[in-house]
Amino acid sequence: MAGLKIIIALMALVGGASAFSPFSRSMPTMSMATEKAGMRRKEWTRALDRATKENFAEVAYGAKSEAFVSAAGSSMFPKLKSKIKQRAKQLGVEPKADFCKQPWKGKPLWLKAQAAEDLKKVVAGRDVEAIQAKLEEIEGLEDVEFKAPEGSDDHPLFAEAKAVIAEVEAAAEAAAAAAEAAAAPAEEAPAEEAAEEAPEEASE
163-193 pLDDT tens trace: 999 999 999 999 999 998 888 776 665 655 5
The pLDDT of residue 69 is 86
The pLDDT of residue 23 is 30
The pTM score is: 0.42
Burial 118-138 (b: 16+ CB within 10 A, else e): ebeebbeeeebeebeebbeeb
The pLDDT of residue 200 is 56
Domain boundaries, given as residue ranges, for the chain: 28-105, 107-172
The pLDDT of residue 187 is 61
**What's the rounded Cα separation, in Å, for the pair 59 and 44?**
9
* Regions in the chain scoring below 50 on pLDDT: 1-37
The pLDDT of residue 32 is 39
The pLDDT of residue 103 is 62
